[in-house]
Amino acid sequence: MTIRIYIDWSGDPGFKFRQGSSELLVIATLMTDEELSLNGLRFKLSLPEDYEFHFAKTNRHIREEFRNFIHNELEIPAVVVLRADKQRFSVTMREKRGEQIIADLITHCIVNLPFELLQNSTLYYDGEKEQLSFKNTLRTTLSQALRQQVFLRAIKAVSASRNDGLQIADMLAGFIRNDTSAIRSSMVKVIHYPD
């Protein structure tokens, strides 16, 4: 059994709030032991098979149907969504590079997933191509946090347009970014950062 971890985020790691940086950075992490498919939901909504669920680009009706899908049909062993208020970050955190901030927040999510399921898992994040600098930063940060107790099989950048697991992560991040009470599922753990 190969565990897959899908990660996507909403917002950016910048601090130039008056120039467009987001006040919130939301990381959604979900863990599953099977390939996730949204084809049934696409069919129900009469959407094309290649339709990409992307929170910022979907209309209110599709969002509501997707939220109903999360509440009533989606079965995932674990979901952690971290909602970071960047205006409350420490000076130390603000001094870090953007890649390191995202890696730190992803790691904070990962360590809150069921530890026994992490072993030998593959982590997927939304990316059009392998960004080696970010991938190396993430791998190093995860290794330091997990020490040698957990081995991750691989860390891969995959386009969300071709991956339903990443599309679910994107939608979860969007829902929690807009309203922390939007998702009322026992499988979703919401973390406020800094707490």
What pTM was computed for the model?
0.94
**CB-based contacts of 73: which residues, under 8 Å, 6+ apart?**
40, 41
Examine the pLDDT at 1 and tell me if it is beyond 80. Answer: no
Q: State how far the Cα of 104 lies from the Cα of 115, in Å rounded to an integer.
A: 17
Q: What is the pLDDT of residues 95-134, one digit of tens each?
A: 999 999 999 999 999 999 998 888 899 999 998 776 789 9
pLDDT tens digits for range 55-72? 999 999 999 999 999 999
Instruction: At 126, list the tokens.
Output: 């939304």
- What integer best gives the mean pLDDT of the chain? 93
Q: Is the pLDDT of residue 150 over 90?
A: no
Alpha-carbon span 83 to 131, nearest angstrom: 24
